[in-house]
Structure 1
Amino acid sequence: MGIVDKAKNTAEKLTGQGKEAVGDATNNDDLKAEGQKDQAKGSVKNAAEDVKDVFKK
């Protein structure tokens, strides 16, 4: 299950990067902030997965 979760988290980060880029290009601060939030959420989830992986060993 860990690899699937990591893939989902990475997809969330990439979606966030896309939203941030579009928000930046269109001067839409709300979309840019949402993209940054999505990236942070994906990063935190990936960190949690890494911690779980350490304890599985």
Structure 2
Amino acid sequence: MSVIDKAKNSLQRLTGRGKRTAGRVSGKPGMEARGSARKIGGDVKQAGENLKDAAR
């Protein structure tokens, strides 16, 4: 996995976690859902990169 891909995935997970928390605090379920989806997307991408590394 390239360092750039790893950084992008980590940033996506971090921003998702932040949006999710902000949504919970502000009482906005839509923002919380979008943040959760963004975090899950970063998790899935990271898992895909780990699978590619394991296949090598």
Same fold, TM-score > 0.5, yes or no = yes
- Percent identity (aligned): 38
State the number of aligned residues: 56
* TM-score computed with the length of structure 1 as normaliser: 0.91
**Amino acid in the other structure paired with 1:53:** D
User: What stretches of structure 1 of length at least 5 have no aligned partner?
Assistant: none
Q: Could you list the runs of 4 or more consecutive aligned residues of structure 1 that deviate by over 6 angstroms after TM superposition?
A: none
Alignment of 1:17-56 (within 5 A): 17-56=17-56
Partners of 1:51 and 1:2 lie apart in 2 by 13
* TM-score computed with the length of structure 2 as normaliser: 0.93
Partners of 2:29 and 2:2 lie apart in 1 by 34
